[in-house]
Amino acid sequence: MKASIRELCTHDYQPENGYYIAPEQPGLGQELNDEVVKEYLAYVIK
């Protein structure tokens, strides 16, 4: 993963022997880092 994406996610899955191990967490097995997400918030003003 790119560094900017890596900091956005709570888990940094890396391949082992050329394969990714399927995470045991529900869904995609990934969560967003709330502190980093706050930096990318956009506000729409009408």
Q: Please compute Rg for the chain using Cα positions.
A: 14
Cβ(19)–Cβ(29) below 8 Å: no
Does this model's pTM top 0.85? My answer is: no
1 has a pLDDT exceeding 70: no
pLDDT digits (tens, 9 = 90+) for 3-45: 777 888 888 888 999 998 888 888 888 898 999 888 888 889 9
**Domain ranges in the chain?**
1-46
Amino acid 12: pLDDT: 85
Amino acid 45: pLDDT: 93
Amino acid 16: pLDDT: 92
